[in-house]
């Protein structure tokens, strides 16, 4: 089975639609909420032809587009029904057209009445976000060089034959300045210290399978070229979104957008947070689990807000 091409970007018509600044989009750009780490904006992540809008690591809204032959463009957003109708509404998604939320058969469910409606959706989404996702959101907030979260490998990418539970999403994609002085992509997996994927009786934790999978995916020659091209396009879109927000942009993101070189470090890094020093000291077995991570770039901090992505030295506790 052929593996889907990796892409990041929007149709030209979709970006033009957003540049016209429809009211709901202005609300998304302007929205801020108070959380650990201070006031957080909604994170906009570029996908293949659409956007995901995140609050504390939880996807609130998918922004897609219907482009007609006539050139007419319509918003085709998707939002989980539990954010609109409450946690008891069950699974499934509703359609958002910028003014109305409807079911798949066109039945009206709710109206969009401005920032208050968006606030209710965001707060509902935050209720479903776990500590690990919240930690990733704080790390992202502190690093303007982050250009993607939940980088999904295509569903038909090679799967580990021994463990189908291995996650299929890299938590963080960021830019860093490499030894040559140009920009490089860097990939991160983030785990709470309590996450069982960091530990195994055999001292071969599942997180190593994840990292191996990610490494193999991005380092394949054809895939490497796709990923680099995709994230160059994503950088250009982030510059556009910053302009729309009236916000500053990371110099590295601006540099890549202006045509600067972009390389890749295909070796994924591991972030571990949420531990207390006494937990590490008291957990004799952790030293053996940590030893199993030798050779992996590990950043380990007690709190997500203390994580600095440029601290790549292996730390063993």
Q: What is the 3-state secondary structure (H, E, C) of the chain?
A: CCCCCCCCECCHHHHHHHHCCCHHHHHHHHCEEEECCEEEECEEEECECCEEEEECCEEEEEEEEEECCCCCEEEEEEEEHHHHHCHHHCCCEEEECCCEEECCCCCEEEECCCHHHHHHHHHHHHCCCCHHHHHHHHHHHCCCCEEEEEEECCCCCCCCCCCCCCCCEEEEEEEEECCCCCEEEEEEEEEECCCHHHCCCCCCCHHHHHHHHHHHHHHCHHHHHHHHHHHHHHHHHHHHHHHHHCCCCCHHHHHHHCCCCEEECCCCEEEEECCCHHHHHHCHHHHHHHHCCCCCCEEEECCHHHCCCCCCCCCCC
Residue 74 belongs to some domain of the structure:
yes
Same domain? 121 vs 158: no
pLDDT of residue 37: 59
Range of the domain at 118: 12-126
Q: Are residues 152 and 296 in the same domain?
A: yes
Mean pLDDT taken over the chain: 89
Return the pLDDT at 316. 32
The answer to whether residues 99 and 159 belong to one domain is: no
Tell me, yes or no, whether 197 lies in a domain: yes
> Do both 54 and 188 map to the same domain?
no
Q: Is the pLDDT reported for residue 291 higher than 90? A: no
Residue pair 302/279 in contact by the 8 Å Cβ criterion: no
Give a yes or no: residue 57 inside a domain: yes
Q: Which of 66, 101, 126 is the last residue of a domain?
A: 126
Least confident of 58-67, 158-167, 251-260, 308-317: 158-167
In a domain, 253, yes or no: yes
In a domain, 6, yes or no: no
- Residue of 84, 80, 42, 36 whose CA lies nearest to 62: 80
pLDDT at 74 over 80: yes
Is the domain of 108 the same as that of 246?
no
Q: pTM of the predicted model, to two decimals?
A: 0.91
Instruction: Specify whether 187 is located in the same domain as 120.
Output: no
In a domain, 228, yes or no: yes
Q: Are residues 78 and 214 in the same domain?
A: no
Mean pLDDT of all residues in 133-139: 95
**Those residues with Cβ within 8 angstroms of residue 168's Cβ, 6 or more apart along the chain or in another chain:** 152, 153, 155, 157
Residue 44 lies in a domain: yes
Domain count of the chain? 2
The pLDDT, as a whole number, for residue 18 is 97
Query: Does residue 262 sit in the same domain as residue 166?
Result: yes
Assess whether 189 and 292 both reside in one domain: yes
228 and 119 part of one domain: no
Res 22 pLDDT > 50: yes
Ranking 17-31, 143-157, 178-192, 299-313 by mean pLDDT, the lowest is 299-313
**85 confidence band (pLDDT: 50, 70, 90):** very high
Average pLDDT over residues 248-272: 96
- Quick check: 288 pLDDT over 50? yes
pLDDT (0 to 100) of residue 310: 76
For residue 137, being part of any structural domain is answered with no
pLDDT class for 155, splitting at 50, 70, 90?
low
| Mean of pLDDT values over 269-293 | 73
Beta bridge partners of 184: 176, 263
pLDDT at 285: 65
Nearest CA to 228 out of 188, 190, 269, 185 is that of 185
Domain end among 100, 126, 152: 126
Q: Are residues 225 and 256 in the same domain?
A: yes
Between residues 118 and 302, the one the model is more confident about: 118
Same domain as 254, residue 165: yes
Of 126, 151, 169, which residue sits at a domain end?
126
């Amino acid at each position: 089975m052929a593996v889907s091409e990796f892409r990041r970007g929007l149709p030209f018509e979709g970006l033009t639609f957003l540049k016209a600044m429809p009211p709901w989009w202005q609300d998304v750009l302007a929205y801020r909420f108070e959380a650990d780490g201070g006031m957080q904006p909604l994170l906009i992540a570029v996908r293949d032809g659409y956007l995901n809008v995140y609050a504390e690591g939880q996807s609130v809204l998918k922004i897609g587009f219907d482009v007609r032959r006539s050139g007419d463009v319509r918003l085709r957003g998707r939002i989980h029904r539990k954010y609109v109708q409450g946690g008891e509404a069950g699974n499934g998604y509703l359609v958002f057209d910028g003014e109305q939320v409807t079911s798949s058969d066109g039945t009206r469910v709710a109206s969009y009445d401005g920032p208050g409606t968006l606030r209710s959706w965001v707060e509902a989404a935050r209720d479903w976000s776990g500590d690990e996702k919240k930690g990733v959101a704080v790390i992202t907030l502190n690093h303007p060089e982050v250009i993607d979260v939940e980088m999904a490998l295509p569903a038909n990418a090679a799967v580990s034959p021994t463990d189908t539970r291995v996650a299929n999403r890299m938590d963080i994609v960021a830019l860093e300045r490499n030894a040559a002085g140009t920009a490089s992509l860097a990939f991160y997996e983030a785990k709470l210290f309590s996450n069982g994927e960091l530990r195994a009786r055999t001292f071969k934790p599942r997180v190593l399978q994840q990292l191996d999978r990610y490494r193999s995916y991005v380092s394949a020659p054809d895939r490497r070229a796709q990923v680099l091209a995709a994230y160059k396009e994503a950088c250009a879109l982030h510059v556009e979104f910053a302009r729309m927000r009236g916000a500053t942009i990371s110099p590295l993101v601006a540099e890549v957008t202006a045509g600067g070189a972009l390389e890749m470090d295909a070796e994924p890094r591991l972030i571990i947070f949420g531990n207390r020093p006494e937990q590490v000291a008291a957990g004799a077995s952790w030293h053996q689990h940590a030893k199993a991570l030798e050779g992996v770039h590990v950043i380990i901090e007690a709190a997500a807000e203390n994580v600095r992505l440029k601290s790549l030295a292996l730390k063993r506790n």
